[in-house]
Amino acid sequence: MAKVLCLVAWLGWLPLPARAQDQAQPVKAELKNDRVLVWVNGQVFTEYLFTADSKYPYFYPVIGPRTGHTITTHKTEPYPHHSSLFFGCDRVNGGNYWQEGLERGRIISKGISLAVDSGRMVVIKQKCSWERPGAESPFSDSRTITIQAPGKDLRLVDFEITLEANLEVQIEKNNHSLFAARMIPALSTQGGGTLRNAHGDLAEKGTFGKPAPWADYRGQHHGEIEGLAIFCDPQDRWFPPPWFTRDYGFFSPTPMFWLENGKLILKKGEQLHLRYRTVVHAGNPAPGDLDALYKKWTAKQPD
């Protein structure tokens, strides 16, 4: 029986959580002047960038567990302002903290540290300021980023952010907002990949505007199947969020395109807390495997 299980696991047929159970990988991080480098089992997994010319902090590359190649992209047509895995927002008190043009608005790192730099996880703490020339800063934000690798085919990036309004803030209806990912063309629906939400809806046609607790993009590249899912916390405002999705590889859980009355107003001192989990996976896990991971995460069970 043991030999059968070993063979099944090697072929990638065993459900993802079970495969990962006894294969946790060591994680290490190093803080540089303009980025945090993260390794899993001695191999680069991602960099969290906050360079002097960045629109906002973002993760790039995001390396697949098997191929050693990134599954996300930036500076890619169409819409080269989509920066891999990131958080931003357009139409905030007249500023644009999403698209090109630093003069239109930027999210600037004001302090970053490694609360945990190695072991079963790394933990990054960061404070940011949303700034635009000639205008008062609408938001200050605090971020906690936790990265783990519970299995050889699994990477977890937990992104928790609290935005605090420095004055009254008005966000107008827009499709450029909050947490988002842009996949490489080979993993996009147009490139032969698959976009699926938690309810089994497929592609842009089936997922656009549909509320769902999670969605997943995956496909084949360099001879392997790899992908990325985004989970949303049930405690977040607007849960389950509608998704803004595109067949060229972009997806984002955001309510801002469907705001009541076309705008959101936050009073001075009001906070908006959001929590996401990014699941980077290989081996073509079934939707039920992602469901199991999602339930484990929302139940706050250890990974």
Residue 21 has a pLDDT of 44
pLDDT on residue 182: 98
**Per-residue pLDDT at 12:** 40
**% of the chain residues with pLDDT over 70:** 93
Peptide bond into 240 cis (omega under 30): yes
**Secondary structure string (H, E, C) spanning 60-118:** EEEECCCCCCECECCCCCCCCCCCCEEEEEEEECCEEECCCCHHHCEEEEEEEEEEECE
CB atoms within 10 A of CB 78: 9
Q: What per-residue confidence (pLDDT) applies to 302?
A: 84
Which parts of the chain sit beneath pLDDT 50?
1-15, 17-21
How confident is the model over 249-293, as pLDDT tens digits? Answer: 999 999 999 998 899 999 999 999 999 999 999 999 999 999 999
Predicted local distance difference test score (pLDDT) of residue 61: 98
Measured CA to CA, the distance from residue 189 to residue 257 in angstroms comes to: 22
pLDDT at 300: 86
What was the pLDDT predicted at 22? 53
